[in-house]
Amino acid sequence: MPNPFHLAFPVHDLEASRAFYGGLLGCPEGRSSDQWIDFDLYGHQIVAHLSQAAKDPGPTNAVDGHDVPVPHFGVVLDMDEWKALADTLRAAGVEFVIEPYVRFEGQPGEQATMFFRDPSGNALEFKAFADRSKLFEK
């Protein structure tokens, strides 16, 4: 297994985060306290830290005709996993920042992508490549 990354991020409500990351996204829960929760996001450690600071939606950057939220985080999935997650999110009524679609069609970086926010406004992107070996191809 490649080295997992670790990401700590602010949330306003731990129970809403538990329902979103643990319930909707299916991330197993690790250690927790009354101030934070560890989640296993596809083998990576993400930590939701309780913070009452207001969350500004933040800037965006134009990519393939869409306003991509910055910052954001997520995972590159296999195409079947990506499609299943998109279906799960649609069925749950998740509002997409950028609806699931394929960008850079016909180019070396062609990828399926989708953007959405957690209950605290943190932006997530999940993507998939038909050929993952093209992940860093120019």
Report pTM: 0.91
What pLDDT score does 134 carry? 85
Percent of the chain with pLDDT over 90: 73
Residue 85 sits at φ, ψ, to 5 deg, of: -65, -45
In a domain, 76, yes or no: yes
Residue 76: per-residue pLDDT: 96
What rounded mean pLDDT belongs to the chain?
93
Same domain, 34 and 79: no
Q: Are residues 66 and 119 in the same domain?
A: yes
- Number of structural domains in the chain: 2
Is 55 within a domain?
no
Are residues 74 and 44 part of one domain? Answer: no
Q: Is residue 123 part of a domain?
A: yes
Whether 14 maps to a domain, the answer reads yes
| 14: CATH | 3.30.720.120
Q: What is the pLDDT of residues 19-73, one digit of tens each?
A: 999 999 999 999 999 999 999 999 999 999 999 876 777 788 889 888 898 999 9
Domain shared by 20 and 80, yes or no: no
pLDDT score of 14 more than 90: yes
Is the domain of 40 the same as that of 65?
no
On whether residue 1 sits in a domain, the answer given is no
Residue 77 is assigned to a structural domain of this protein: yes
Alpha helices in 50-127 (DSSP H): 79-91
CA distance 57 to 138: 30
| Domain that includes residue 117, residue range | 60-134
